[in-house]
Structure 1
């Protein structure tokens, strides 16, 4: 069974320097105007650090439930999802009372009060700590995750029938995470919109086909947007 973690590992071995994700933030706010390009190797490092933080720092393992509550499309959403699957846990996009871990930009939300553990995520690429007060026990991603290792070895591997993804009450087992490859190998794929479920589907297709994603957070770029040409986009979702 091919897992997302193994798929990413295979792509790193094939060509570690090739872009995996290019991100543009067009939304009003402190991160507007950011452009971030992440190679396969760098994405793998982010995934490893986040997975180690989950496994070693928060005792997340096969069967644990991690609720992801992050903006979409966003590069941080991608590596946290891959980290959850690397550990072999269940990633849920549905509000879940008593989730083992909540990964969120809003650690003071009512949902956070119901989670056993909370990871506070700061979106800014160069952030070194969360901009605000955090209650005791909340993990500050910007401050703490970088201290975890760049390599990751799971304590346990997921079984084919284990739940990998929960969305709108529907459960997808690990054996069915990868659907049919809809893109030509090596495609450069423009992703917009706000659906986490759609973003994760595109991320998995990229892993399966060796493609890379161009994420634009904000209004969908016009067809004449010069970035579409400069980034070599071949597929628009």
Structure 2
């Protein structure tokens, strides 16, 4: 039985994902079907998201990044990127009153025309759809089309990262874990980080998979 190591910098997470190479790090089931990301591809997404948050909207340590999005792997990518930059990351449903009191530095949302978006300094518009090439809705002035913009950023980091501000890897993993994770909230983040650092991957969201699908995914544990 192996306990996951601590995480001090986002670079350590990227290195763990890169070390998976072509092996699956994430499998996600949604209305349009199933998508699988290798460790290398997921690392590229996270690195690009870090670069975009750093270069395009200047997200800094301590800033508030709010994710007003349905459960999706892109929401998880944004959380990982925000934590890598030392930001505070909140999902809207976890406490809107506190979020509004604090003021939102960056809002990632599929509702860029909402009142909440009007109060954010920067707005990233995206849909919780894996293969969407751009935001399909009306894009307000100054809002960022996240998927289109993030793809233009390098696959490798261009700047040093501050201390990691997210949760620490959790769980005791024996062998190569392949964990089933829920879609709601970010409570599965600790288990996901632990799985990746142990050389495994995650499957989700649990709410969308029946027992046959779970067996087909060769799941070894549940978050």
Structure 2 unaligned segments of length 5 or more: list them.
1-5
- Structure 1 stretches lacking a partner, 5+ long: 26-31, 166-176
Deviation at 1:3, TM superposition (A): 3.2
Task: Give 1:185 shift.
Answer: 4.2
**Residue number in structure 2 paired with 1:181:** 171
Counterpart CA distance in 2 for 1:21 and 1:181 is 17
After superposition, residues 16-95 of structure 1 pair within 5 angstroms as 16-25=21-30, 32-72=31-71, 74-93=72-91, 94-95=95-96
How far did 1:154 drift? 3.7
RMSD: 2.2
Return 146-155 or 128-137, whichever deviates more: 146-155
Q: What is aligned with 2:219?
A: 233
Deviation at 1:202, TM superposition (A): 2.8
Deviation at 1:20, TM superposition (A): 0.7
Please state how far the C-alpha of 1:230 moved relative to its aligned partner: 2.2
Q: TM-score, normalised on structure 1?
A: 0.79
3-state SS in 1 of match to 2:168: coil
Q: Secondary structure at the match of 1:79?
A: helix
1:158 aligned onto 2:181: no
**Aligned residue pair count:** 211
Q: Match of 1:121?
A: 126
8 Å CA contact 2:9–2:161 kept in 1: the answer is no
4+ residue segments displaced more than 6 Å: none
From 222, 227, 232, the equivalent of 2:210 is 222
Higher mean C-alpha deviation, range 140-149 or range 180-189: 180-189
Task: Give the SS at the match of 2:45.
Answer: helix
1:150 CA displacement? 1.0
